[in-house]
Chains A and B, each alone.
Chain A
Amino acid sequence: DVKVTQSSRYLVKRTGEKVFLECVQDMDHENMFWYRQDPGLGLRLIYFSYDVKMKEKGDIPEGYSVSREKKERFSLILESASTNQTSMYLCASRPGTSGPWGAKNIQYFGAGTRLSVL
């Protein structure tokens, strides 16, 4: 079974702090995603990585950065946390190029990190 592990389930941070959210997947997937999920707004893509050291901005990258130094690990960084970044953060991975055709689209999610910025 694919496993995507997010380092924390709950985090409470202060405004202005630098926050690191870590995500590790164990299936050698090429593609990894960071989303945030807010009531009424659904899933919104923050950043995407298609390979080590490669990244693309998603729909809402402002205030965030990412790091992918190893294939299995994708980190989301909040450079200076603000109250409007209080949210549920979800990491996902997907095969990308390997595996059966229809299965390439499947995204496997971590349990999520509920971040509160005070």
Chain B
Amino acid sequence: DAKTTQPPSMDCAEGRAANLPCNHSTISGNEYVYWYRQIHSQGPQYIIHGLKNNETNEMASLIITEDRKSSTLILPHATLRDTAVYYCIVRVVQAGGTSYGKLTFGQGTILTVHP
């Protein structure tokens, strides 16, 4: 899996957009970008994923640069409940039954949303 780099922490005002960057300059052509988050004392939560096109779902938008070396997760209207650690992961698809599908998180970005 390609290595990712994220800022250790970010702040955001409630109601504003939170833009969380992720650098993955060694990404290969068949690797997807996945974002998860973990709210304190809860299990990780999948947010969104993409290959090369921008993606949007009910939680967030994912913008992937044309060269795919970086991406940005956008929470359009951050709330206090979005305070969490956000993890960017890059990996090939591990279909079928294999423990290589296990997940590992880096340090992530601690996003603090304040009133």
Mostly, the A contact residues are strand
Whether B94 contacts A54 by the Cβ 8 Å rule is no
Count of chain A residues near B, Cβ 8 A? 35
Which of the candidate stretches B14-22, B41-49, B65-73 sits at the interface with the other chain?
A: B41-49
A107 within 8 A of B: yes
A31 within 8 A of B: yes
Q: How many pairs of residues, A versus B, come closer than 8 Å at their CB atoms?
A: 83
Beyond A43-B103, A48-B99, A58-B102, whether A102 also contacts B93 by CB under 8 A is: yes
0/1 interface trace, chain B 101-113, chain A, CB 8 Å (1 if under) = 1111110000000
Whether A48 contacts B102 by the Cβ 8 Å rule is yes
Whether B101 contacts A105 by the Cβ 8 Å rule is yes
The one of B41, B51, B99, B105 that contacts A102, using a Cβ cutoff of 8 Å: B51
- What are 27 inter-chain pairs, A to B, with CB distance below 8 A? A4-B43, A31-B101, A42-B104, A42-B106, A45-B99, A50-B97, A50-B99, A54-B97, A88-B41, A90-B43, A92-B44, A96-B96, A96-B97, A96-B101, A97-B97, A101-B93, A102-B49, A102-B93, A104-B95, A105-B32, A105-B34, A105-B93, A105-B101, A106-B46, A107-B46, A109-B43, A111-B42
Q: Which residue of B lies closest to A46 (CB)?
A: B102
The one of B42, B43, B94, B106 that contacts A105, using a Cβ cutoff of 8 Å: B94
